[in-house]
Amino acid sequence: MRTRGALPDAIAAEFSVAQAVRAGASLRRLRGSDLSRPFYGVRSLIQDDPQEEELDPYALQRRARLARARQYLPLMRPRHFFSHQTAASAYGAPLPLVFTEFGDPADGCDLDLHVSVLGSGPVPRTQGIVRHRAQPKMATIREVDGLPVSSPATTWASLGTLGLRDLIALGDYFCRVWRPGIGRPDVGKAPLTTLDQLRAAAAAGRRRGAANLREALTFIRLDSWSPRESAVRFELVRAGLPEPELNADVFDASRRFLGCVDMVYREKKVAIEYLGMLHGASWARDVERLAALRAAGWEVIEVTAPLLAKPAELVDRVRRALAR
């Protein structure tokens, strides 16, 4: 049985054919079945990922975008950078799911790879990418895990064609302030960007979806922890309800900690919790936490995906609770 020769140590898991040849790999080795060809002139080691089945569709799409970016990285030139949804994924930011024509969540090559060039440099011509040209006054670049990407503010301002709720959730994520509280992680960590930086990026030049960006700025907050929380808050505030306190630590009359709640109207003792897909210990903790709130006299409104899909009903439930 013929054994497959090792690749040179000097090359990474994703590499250009030219790099591999310079490092001593033969053209025959570069035709090996353990190598994929994601782009012309690029090879990538095929590797199984045992964690993939455990990830939700949002995380799978984020991972697929980053895998494509790393495969393309050997072809990047000076002044080239990843932008738009590709850059958002590099920051772990929430994006809406992309679906195939058959209604399934897209993966791999079905997800656009966005590559931009800063200024007047040559625009990339490789098949399989969405290419952009960015003016220097409208784009800031930084490196994230070895990838050249647009800054958080530039990335947000480039995505003005997203739906309003998605754009708000993205802004909430980028601007989150890591405040102190019971059991909270990463207290004091700097936000990825600020509202002022988002405003400046949106106003730096002509943007697609400029009106959408301006409206989203009025709804972005600093204390939202998830895109579903952002969506719930948006629907309530847009309907004219008071602004809820976000991710607030709640105590009973004896100062016993009851839990951190997604949204609260403290004076009315109304708590709103978004319930995603919960399993095992997470489900049990949430059940006990919500039971403790109710025992202390709080009215708890549990929001699920089906309820969020009917915003008028959601708003009506909260409005009735506040009127009591």
DSSP string, 127-169: TT-EEEEE-GGG--EEEETTEEEE-HHHHHHTTTTS-HHHHHH
Look at residue 233 in the predicted model and tell me its pLDDT. 98
Amino acid type, 26: S
Report pLDDT for 102: 83
Tell me the C-alpha distance between 309 and 191, whole Å. 30
pLDDT-flagged residues of the chain (< 70): 1-5, 9-12, 17, 27, 30, 33, 37, 40-41, 45-54, 277-281
Q: Tell how strand 270-274 and strand 257-265 pair up.
A: antiparallel
pTM of structure: 0.86
Q: Is-contact 152 193, C-beta < 8 A?
A: yes
**Per-residue pLDDT, 55:** 75
- Predicted local distance difference test score (pLDDT) of residue 47: 67
- Calculate the CA 308 to chain-centre distance: 19
The per-residue pLDDT for 269 is 97
CATH code 1.10.4010.10 for 229-323: no
Q: Helix or strand or coil: residue 204?
A: coil
Confidence (pLDDT) at 280: 52
CA 256-250-185 angle, to 5 degrees, is 100
Q: CA-based angle 237:240:241, to the nearest 5?
A: 70
**Contact (CB, 8 A) for 252 and 241:** no
Continuous H helices in the chain: 17-22, 57-72, 84-90, 152-157, 164-175, 195-202, 210-217, 227-238, 280-295, 305-308, 311-323
Phi, psi torsion values for 156, nearest 5 degrees: -60, -45
pLDDT value of position 1: 35
Residues 43 and 26 sit within 8 Å (Cβ to Cβ): no
Q: What is the pLDDT, as a whole number, of residue 162?
A: 98
**β pairing state of 80-82 and 35-36:** unpaired
Tokens for 53, please give them.
Answer: 């089945």
Domain parsing of the chain, residue ranges: 1-47, 55-150, 164-222, 229-323
**115 is written with which tokens?**
């590559």
Q: What angle do CA 140, 154, 227 make, to 5 degrees?
A: 140
Contacts of 275 (CB under 8 A, 6+ apart): 286, 302, 303, 304
Hey, how many other C-beta atoms are within 10 angstroms of the C-beta on 113?
Answer: 23
Give the model's pLDDT for residue 23: 76
Q: CB-based contacts of 183: which residues, under 8 Å, 6+ apart?
A: 260
3-state helix, strand and coil shares in percent for the chain, rounded to the nearest 5: 40, 20, 45
